[in-house]
Structure 1
């Protein structure tokens, strides 16, 4: 479950600009503030099912965006390559440049 939460949060960080305000709000309350479906439903005076459906649709959207754009996969690949380079890197100036590149992510 924790792995799913981490992945959803990473996808959200990348693709949140593509979501509606309501999708963002429910997602943040559920995944980042750790509110239950019932707590969110009570706060907005909607059914628990409405909250559940909204969050599930948002998860599918985020997964769909990643399937098409692969931004998270590419970031993870970049991080892996940078990590390997840093292990093998000996020149201090090159190491500094790699640190600067890594800071950009």
Structure 2
């Protein structure tokens, strides 16, 4: 069992210096997966508004909304991943990426 825990600790030590990239990849991928749903929900809210209002809302959403989500979510994800113990970080990151891949594949079939 010691070999297994040593392997987990080693893999986690390889991932730990790159948590900012891991968090950015996760947040960006989730925004890509669910961005269309967010855009559709906002469109339903501003559908009847004037063209200039709709355009301003979507510029604000895309430029500031998604940017703000990224800026605030990445440090949150990093804190959550840092709280994982030395043996749990690698399995958690692997499972999260598998789940995000599954969500992306599932979302792509919906059309």
Structure-2-length-normalised TM-score: 0.33
Higher relative contact order (CA 8 A, sep 6+): 2
Structure-1-length-normalised TM-score: 0.34
